[in-house]
Structure 1
């Protein structure tokens, strides 16, 4: 089929499911710490930004990369791979055609004129791309280790292009330290918090000031309307680009710091007129037209819904990660089987819930919505759900 997706609920026909192959560690450096600033305090350990003597993480040529590795235990990766394959099998059983990224080689380190980083696999495929109608847009990455991640999706995108899709790549940021807007983390780091403040960006001869950096998972697609979460100058520049690029085809609206970046564990559209929203407090901050929609507020997550990890395991999400559900149709939704209260809540609203296993979502920073990129849904044109 040709690329075709305008929302998150129309009957799903084709989807990309990410790959966890050879996921071995997180690389902590400036861009990583900025991106996960709101999430890492959920871990029980203290995260100093600066390495102690002897903790250097050298690059392939022996020079300092400025990064610090946080290894992921092999058994967690193996269990993640089992769960991802289970998600693939479930979607296939529901009649959905599943595409996969190219696998990541065991270790790849890349270098640009401004940074070097170890590449991670294309697992959270929602993040660095967005599908709007018959166009796939590779967005401007926010984490250096993910700069080349969409290269692993090239075989999928190239096939859709051959079938008539538009394929666009946003301008790629240089990602020097000066490229990043620190205002959000500065405003959201209180004295005494476990996270060290980020106040020491390194100068570079390639500095151009703040650059556009934005993820597809910051966008809520509602037919003709696209709501974009904007929390930093980097996001604002990315939203500027989207507004100009999509002018005449889609209406782009800005959400003011609804979350630090991604919003698919904060607000999701389940069908026209119905939102899944984290809390009533979040609902009060939505634009007036969205506040007119019906809303489901999920029960608070329970501690027993998550594995117990060691102190040195790096947690990358809050306990609300399981709001990150995937709609297969306006009345059918995939939900983590570890969340019986959420399942019952959705069933009370007459959804058919398909439970799937996803154990280590907090370690890998993504839920079911993050792991998937819907490329074909039914519908031939963008509907106007906010008319009037």
Structure 2
């Protein structure tokens, strides 16, 4: 089929599901710390630390501190991903997969820095599907700099069938590229070292556009985009100019530190799933008129117990990261009964799917997938 995806809920026909093959480590360096700041900063276990940027002085290509990922978690994650694929297939959805990272592809290196490579797992982050166009967004984490290269076979086939295909400018991603104001103003404190010592580089150009597709909520001809830093604002500037005349961009400010798909999702025209009423109050005025589902707070027993050396990357609200396969059918983590009951109470058919280690790998079903073909078009849902 031809690429066509304008919203988050219309009947789903084709999708890409991510891969965690050969996931071996997290790279603790500036971009990683900033991206996961809100969640890492709230973890008061004494062994977490901010790897000093001064450790890179004299070696501009040196990375941060690599934290191994336990392979039993990776194996179980891949089992759960296959379960997601099987569920989607059983619902009549055509599933595509990215190219796996090979074991020898351990590092990405640019003239300014190096970092370990992350597999193409959270596909939603670095690609925005805007109708009939693939937009590779400007990465926010160094280890994911070339992640969309692993989606090239899928993108190439959609291009052959007529899709547009664009790429936001690739950032240099030196320390000077990042606006640190959000992290500084959120008062991390505790055992985390303050982010106050970015190092200079001969490649510095000042703030650059650093913007993820998961900062967007797609609503037909409208896109809501979250901005928490100058990096995000530059990315939205580019998006507005690029999509001018085809889509309307609505800016919201500091709805979260970056991604919004565990804060708010549109389940169908007129219905939002939101973390809290406070989220609704920050949305564009037309969306505040929609019905809002605010599920009960997740229970701690919904999540596996982890050892002190396991790095928690998401908040307990990660299970709000659901995937709609139609306006009345939603895939939900089977370990989230409170959310399932609330959605059923509002008339949705809930399809439970297993996903055990969502807090360790930074994503839920919406993050792990990139819907490429849905039946909907550029309708106007906000007038």
TM-score clears 0.5: yes
1:50 alignment partner in structure 2? 51
Q: How does 1:76-225 map to 2 (within 5 A)?
A: 76-108=73-105, 109-190=107-188, 192-225=189-222
Structure 2 distance, partners of 1:83, 1:67, is: 30
Q: How does 1:277-288 map to 2 (within 5 A)?
A: 277-288=274-285
Stretch deviating more after TM superposition (296-305 or 104-113): 104-113
Q: How does 1:240-255 map to 2 (within 5 A)?
A: 240-255=237-252
**Off by >6 Å, runs of 4+ in structure 1:** none
1:347 alignment partner in structure 2? 344
SS at match of 1:126: helix
1:4 is the counterpart of 2:4:
yes
**Superposed displacement of residue 224, structure 1:** 0.7
Unaligned runs of 5+ in 2: none
Kindly indicate whether the alpha-carbon contact (under 8 Å) linking 2:221 and 2:379 is maintained by their aligned counterparts in 1.
yes
2:381 alignment partner in structure 1? 385
Kindly indicate whether the alpha-carbon contact (under 8 Å) linking 1:3 and 1:375 is maintained by their aligned counterparts in 2.
yes
2:17 alignment partner in structure 1? 17
SS at match of 2:128: strand
TM-score (norm 2): 0.96
Kindly indicate whether the alpha-carbon contact (under 8 Å) linking 1:43 and 1:314 is maintained by their aligned counterparts in 2.
no
Structure 2 distance, partners of 1:176, 1:281, is: 35
Q: Deviations over 1:261-319 (max 9, x none)?
A: 00000000000010001011222222211111110001100000000000110000000
The total of aligned residue pairs comes to 379
Stretch deviating more after TM superposition (355-364 or 285-294): 285-294
Candidates 257, 262, 272, aligned match of 2:254: 257
Structure 2 distance, partners of 1:276, 1:26, is: 30
1:373 alignment partner in structure 2? 370
Kindly indicate whether the alpha-carbon contact (under 8 Å) linking 2:124 and 2:368 is maintained by their aligned counterparts in 1.
yes
Kindly indicate whether the alpha-carbon contact (under 8 Å) linking 2:135 and 2:166 is maintained by their aligned counterparts in 1.
yes
Superposed CA RMSD: 1.6
SS at match of 1:38: helix
> Structure 1 residues 260, 51: CA separation in 2 closer, same or farther (over 3 Å shift)?
closer
Q: Deviations over 1:136-192 (max 9, x none)?
A: 1000000000000000000000000001000101100000000000010011025x4
Q: Deviations over 1:12-51 (max 9, x none)?
A: 0000000000001111100000000001134452322236
Candidates 297, 306, 310, aligned match of 1:309: 306
Kindly indicate whether the alpha-carbon contact (under 8 Å) linking 1:86 and 1:357 is maintained by their aligned counterparts in 2.
yes
> Structure 1 residues 220, 230: CA separation in 2 closer, same or farther (over 3 Å shift)?
same
TM-score (norm 1): 0.95
> Structure 1 residues 212, 51: CA separation in 2 closer, same or farther (over 3 Å shift)?
closer
1:276 alignment partner in structure 2? 273
